[in-house]
Amino acid sequence: MLDKQNHHHQGTIEIIPSWVIKPENLLQPARKHAVNKSKHKPAAQQIMKTPHMCKSITILWVMMLVVSCQSDLQTIDAMTHRDDGPVESAFDVEIIYSDHGYIRMLLQAEQMDRFENEQTYLELPRGLHVVFFDTLKKETSSMSARYAISYEDTEIIEARNDVVVINELGEQLNTEQLIWDQKNATIHSDKFVKITTENEVLYGQGFEADERFDQWRILRPYGTIRIDTRENTE
């Protein structure tokens, strides 16, 4: 585990069987039974059997109706989920976050779509750009990505595709996925990461940091490449 502080040294529905919904499968046995009985029973007794056949047909009709209703509901449900779209969309969005009168963060997005399905979330299909400020309104760090999704209930933002974070010291993080926990003011990832500092480039799998990327650590470092910053002298 590589910390920023020491990296300089180391771098539920019941299913009815299909035969139930085929009329011949229920009606044929009933007809065969009636014909067989007609060879041994008088006509009066045959008439007595008619209510039972009507009852069987009624039960069959009800069962077919239930199956039909279930099928219609499943079709409607599938169409509803397939056609789910955003309840509202906005373009060229700027969101300012302030604390005690101070602007602490600015979030910009070319497009923001709001969805209300099982949970409410915002989708930023064209990415985002976030800038953090100090109390003097000075830019301290930034974050950008080509795609992001924000879950309102959990205050989690997932950034994907060419994620770049730069802190006040100019240290830069590159990764393909980043989880931003706004509630706890942290960022992390379990994907491949590359961190470039003033004099070295560090590679690894996963990282953790505060949301401003001031204090960070690589969870599984792969290696370090030194950058020679010495000026050439004659």
The confidence score (pLDDT) of residue 223 equals 87
* Cα(150)–Cα(127) distance, integer angstroms: 11
Q: Is 152 in the same domain as 110?
A: yes
The confidence score (pLDDT) of residue 70 equals 55
Q: Is 70 in the same domain as 160?
A: no
Phi, psi of 117, rounded to the nearest 5 degrees: -110, -125
* Cα(176)–Cα(89) distance, integer angstroms: 25
Q: What angle do CA 159, 164, 168 make, to 5 degrees?
A: 120
- How many residues are there in the chain? 234
Using an 8 Å Cβ cutoff, are 114 and 88 in contact? Answer: yes
* Cα(98)–Cα(104) distance, integer angstroms: 5
The confidence score (pLDDT) of residue 3 equals 65
Q: What is the mean pLDDT of each run of 10 residues along the chain (234 residues)?
A: 53 36 40 42 44 55 54 52 77 92 93 91 97 92 98 95 97 98 96 96 97 96 83 49
**DSSP for 10-57, written as a single string:** ----PPPPGGGG-HHHHHHHHHHHHHHHHTTS-HHHHHHHHHHHHHHH
Q: Is residue 63 part of a domain?
A: yes
Range of the domain at 38: 18-82
CATH code of residue 141: 2.60.450.10
DSSP 145: E
Q: Is 187 in the same domain as 77?
A: no
Q: Is residue 2 part of a domain?
A: no
Using an 8 Å Cβ cutoff, are 197 and 214 in contact? Answer: no
Handedness of CA 35, 36, 38, 44 (dihedral sign): negative
Question: What pLDDT digit, counting tens, does each position of 89-141 carry?
Answer: 999 999 999 988 889 999 999 999 999 988 899 999 999 999 999 988 899 99
Q: What does the CA dihedral 200, 206, 211, 213 come to, rounded to 10 degrees?
A: -10
* Cα(71)–Cα(13) distance, integer angstroms: 11
Q: Is 148 in the same domain as 205?
A: yes
- Tokens for 169, please give them: 């010291």
Total number of domains constituting the chain:
2
Q: Is residue 1 part of a domain?
A: no
Q: Is 73 in the same domain as 116?
A: no
* Cα(198)–Cα(212) distance, integer angstroms: 18
Q: Is 52 in the same domain as 123?
A: no
Using an 8 Å Cβ cutoff, are 195 and 213 in contact? Answer: no
The confidence score (pLDDT) of residue 118 equals 82
The confidence score (pLDDT) of residue 20 equals 39
Domain boundary residue, one of 82, 107, 125: 82
Q: Is residue 8 part of a domain?
A: no
The confidence score (pLDDT) of residue 141 equals 97
Domain boundary residue, one of 35, 60, 82: 82
Q: Is 49 in the same domain as 151?
A: no
Q: Is 78 in the same domain as 93?
A: no
The confidence score (pLDDT) of residue 56 equals 57
Q: Is 150 in the same domain as 50?
A: no
